[in-house]
Amino acid sequence: MPALASHRKPRSRTRTNTPAVGFTTAAIAGVSLLSAQNATADPKPSIEEVQKKVDDLYRQAGSSTQEYNKAKESTEQQRRTVDRALDEAAERTEALNESRRALGSYAAAQYRTGAVTPTAALLFADNPQSYADQTQLMDRLTEQQRSAIADYETQRAEAAEQRAQATKSLETLTDSQESLRARKQAVQKKLAEARELLSQLTAEERARLAELERKKEEEARRKAEARAKAEAEAEAERQRQERERQAQEQTGTGTETGAGAGTGSAGTAGGTYAAKAEKVLSFARAQIGKPYVWGATGPSSYDCSGLTQAAWRAAGVDLPRTTWDQVKAGQNVATADLLPGDLVFFYDDISHVGIYIGDGKMIHAPKPGANVREESIYYMPIHSSVRPA
């Protein structure tokens, strides 16, 4: 029987697009995810924000530098205390040994003569004073021996106390050194953050940042020039009044002799300060161009308070090390009454200081990466001013 032909249609092969659809879906999902991440990521800060952040980091570094300076000063003082304590402990130990030798000589003498040797027992007893308090022993000792025993006990007690003080001083020194290291790390961290922020800027952004700095300096310069003009006008008025006063005295019409004497006294005091200030400014000008280095006090580099301290030392005035202490070292003066040589402090945390030179300007050690220079006092927010002497 012949085979019957199949009436079933052959199955056609169709290509499936499932893999392509899956790839497209994954791609769309990836784009969506990236878009979501971009939407939630922090936007890049503006140049103005970068400038503010960098300035703030430098200010914080300045404050940390003052903390470092204070910790360093404390550490140095504590080290001197430890050295004195160790020297005194050595002296007490030598005195104790001398007393011990004296008692030993008495014990040896008693041994040689065959006498009873309570002194020897006393010398090597765990508690010599308790042993010496026994009436039987004291009755057998001469006055010289009693004195030697008393001296020995005194020296032993003082030596023990001195050793305890030296140990305590060493522990305090260790604490001071740990604090010093912590302050140093704080400064380095702030400066590293500032450098990292600046390193992320493009060339164009750096140029824009430099332009912002230029505008800031120009504004501060204009304020300084206005201040210089006001000072010049005030000085011209003072000289005019002085000429009038002298003219009145020459014509015999002056009637305020007492006031004149008072002015002379004030002038003498002002002259003394001006003489000191001249030495301060001469020293400060000689440091212009030297680099700012945090914690430095000269002679090759300075931080802000290191420069002011060194400058006033040149005039025979010892200032404290930190801005926080320098701001208390003198007479407070208003910004309008500043004289050359006065110290001008900046920021709410008093983390910077400069030396006023007149005409609204100062000499200061600005910040890391900059050199000692003249600059307008209006470049930073003024906190207060002090006349050291």
Q: Would you name the residues annotated as active-site residues?
A: 304, 352, 364
CA distance 97 to 123: 12
What amino acid is encoded at 277 in this protein?
A
Place of tokens 């003066």: 333
Rounded Cα distance, 113 and 171, in Å? 50
Instruction: Say if residue 128 is preceded by a cis peptide, omega within 30 of 0.
Output: no
The answer to whether 185 and 61 are in contact (CB under 8 A) is no
Six token digits for residue 142: 């001469």
Contact 368, 191 (CB under 8 A): yes
Beta partners for residue 386, in sequence order: 332, 343
CB-based contacts of 307: which residues, under 8 Å, 6+ apart? 284, 287, 298, 355, 363, 364, 365, 372
- What span, in angstroms and rounded, lies between the C-alpha atoms of 282 and 295? 23
- Taken in order 122, 126, 131, 132, the sign of the CA dihedral is positive
Rounded Cα distance between 72 and 174, Å, is 12
Is residue 202 classed as helix, strand or coil in its secondary structure?
Answer: coil
Q: Are strands 382-387 and 331-333 parallel, antiparallel or unpaired?
A: antiparallel
Residue 337 DSSP one-character state: G
Contact 194, 54 (CB under 8 A): yes
Whole-angstrom distance, CA of residue 138 vs CA of residue 321: 58
CA-closest candidate to residue 42, choices 187, 200, 207? 200
